[in-house]
Amino acid sequence: MLSSQVWRSTGRLSDGRAIIYYDESPGTGRADIPDPRPLPPSAPTCELRRDPLLDEWTSLAAHRQDRTFLPPADACPLDPGGAGRASEIPAPDYDVVVFENRFPSLAPSPLPTPEQADPALEARPGAGRCEVVCFTSEHEGSFSRLAPRRVRTVIEAWADRTAALNALPEVAHVYPFENRGEEIGVSLHHPHGQIYAYPFVPPRIARMQATARRHRERAGTNLFDDVVAAERAAGRRVVAEDAEWIALVPAAARWPYEIRLFPLRRVPDLPSLDDSQRDGLARLLPRLLGAFDALFDTPTPYIAAWHQSPVDASGAHDPEFGLHLQVFTVRRAAHRLKYLAGAESGMGTWINDVTPETAADRLRGALVA
């Protein structure tokens, strides 16, 4: 359910894609503003192929090769429209807006007709959905500089879209995230994130589910609750804590600087957060991202990844899963990046050059009150 301070309205872009405005005042009429671009109907081709050795799915989306890549500021497709600007957002201003990605990695599409039988190929349609979330109409800036009211509006959009996408029969898991920085691979500088609605449970989430089930069978308690309790008792790696949330550097952190943010009252997903938890998140999250930015003398590239419970065919959550946010950077020093080289990329075994305790000290020192 949306906050009483956020108003949602839905429109269509010229190629048929949905656009959803989350406004901080009523009656803006933004969803009624037409998209003047003469775009052809949206018809992306996405295909999933299974790796038989890992039992994992890979998305093939060749149309993404042609997606917009680091355009000049005056040609940014995420800036507001109007005055002849060719934008993905037709309105001349907006608060928070979500729209279907023009170059998705997942989308309902037919499988290509094979020229001949391929016994090594197991494929399925790339059903699912990819959406873009614009945090602000301002081209410059970052999430850490958003006002708490705007952060709360973004949280409302995340929760609202999670609930809507979970209700789609082809969706098994909803993943909101933000990529920030060219070092991460962003193709647009405008402050924004994305939401992927997968037709399968991603490997990382599936592994957490399996680990939580084993922990319950062995210990009789919840894995996420126990991890938070142990880190609170240790105290050494806690970066910030308030009445609703705790941010900590995990004891076995893989990335040079990494935080996991947990609600102190466990919930399965973003729609399950109550008003107090959402208010607390709106206050704390910009401070944590600001601490990442203060680590070095250049803007810190990061990924902020929400881990939520999948839902089954009946719409039920995994009762053992705990919502949390993982924020990490590939920067290990002022002008050095952490590359996923032979051990990480080849074997999936990680080597971290910064101890979690040192990372926690530095992040606490960089945290703005």
| Edge-to-edge order in the sheet of strand 96-100 | 7-12, 18-23, 96-100, 129-134, 192-198, 173-180, 302-307, 324-329, 257-263, 245-248, 238-241
Largest CA distance in the chain: 63
**CA 113: distance to chain centroid?**
33
What is the Cα–Cα distance from 239 to 365, expressed in whole angstroms?
Answer: 9
Phi, psi of 169 (to 5 degrees): -65, -25
Residue 134's nearest CA partner among 104, 111, 157 is 157
Cite the active site residues.
192
What is the Cα–Cα distance from 184 to 187, expressed in whole angstroms?
Answer: 9
Determine contact, residues 18/100, Cβ cutoff 8 Å. yes
What is the Cα–Cα distance from 360 to 145, expressed in whole angstroms?
Answer: 22
